[in-house]
Amino acid sequence: MSRKERNAQQEEVLQEEILEETPAEETPAIDAAQLQQDLEKASAQAEEYLNLAQRVQADFDNFRRRNESVRADSYAEGQRAVAAAMLPVLDNLERALDAAANSSDEALKSGVELTLKQMRDAYAKYDVTPIDRLGEKFDPNLENAIMQGSPDEGEPGTVCMVLQKGYRMGDHVLRFAMVKVVAD
């Protein structure tokens, strides 16, 4: 045998020995029951996270709705507060018009009339209306009775005189009317 053949033969033997000595990687035995249990755990956890995410989303939607409602209510309350604060100005313009009626100064009378009209138009734009209940049954939701009239002034329980006009903005009373009511 030649040297080359002997070397080739030795290499083959060495290769076989190396292959025999190296253990093949052991693959773990697949346990179907364990895999099923792991899958069920993962599914349960995913379901829990989904429920949590849905609850958080619902809470956020509710918060957004509440916040929008509070914002709208605050805006409307601000409008009512400004309208109520301006009512004394309207009262004074009406008094000025009554005083100007006895005056010979037509320019003054005309100026007060135009200003009063402008103020009433601005109030009408925001649905501010006077509470006019003269001759009607007294309603404590709209009026404050501060005087009693005699039975000869009208039917008992009716408003016989308005001492100060009341105003409402939509369904909200800005200022209750101060009235005199016929006694029973």
Question: For 80-107, how does the pLDDT look when each residue is reduced to its tens digit (9 = 90+)?
Answer: 999 999 999 999 999 999 988 888 888 9
Nearest to 142 by CA among 151, 129, 126: 129
The answer, yes or no, to whether residue 76 has pLDDT greater than 90, is yes
CATH number for position 145:
2.30.22.10
Averaged over 113-120, what is the pLDDT? 95
Number of domains in the chain: 1
Q: Which residue has the tokens 């292959």?
A: 19
- State the SS3 of 24-81: CCCCCCCCHHHHHHHHHHHHHHHHHHHHHHHHHHHHHHHHHHHHHHHHHHHHHHHHHH
Structural domain that includes position 145: 129-184
**What per-residue confidence (pLDDT) applies to 19?**
58
Specify burial of residue 166 (Cβ count, 10 A radius: 0-12, 13-18, 19+): buried
Q: How far apart are the first and last CA of the chain?
A: 145
Instruction: Write out pLDDT tens, residues 42-69.
Output: 999 999 999 999 999 999 999 999 999 9
For 177, counting Cβ atoms within 10 Å of its Cβ (0-12 exposed, 13-18 middle, 19+ buried), the class is buried
Domain for residue 56, yes or no? no
pLDDT value at 149 more than 80: yes
Q: Is residue 143 part of a domain?
A: yes
Residue-wise pLDDT tens digits, 16-46: 666 555 555 555 667 888 888 999 999 999 9
Kindly report which listed range (84-88, 111-115, 149-153, 174-178) carries the lowest average pLDDT score: 149-153
- Is 177 a member of any domain? yes
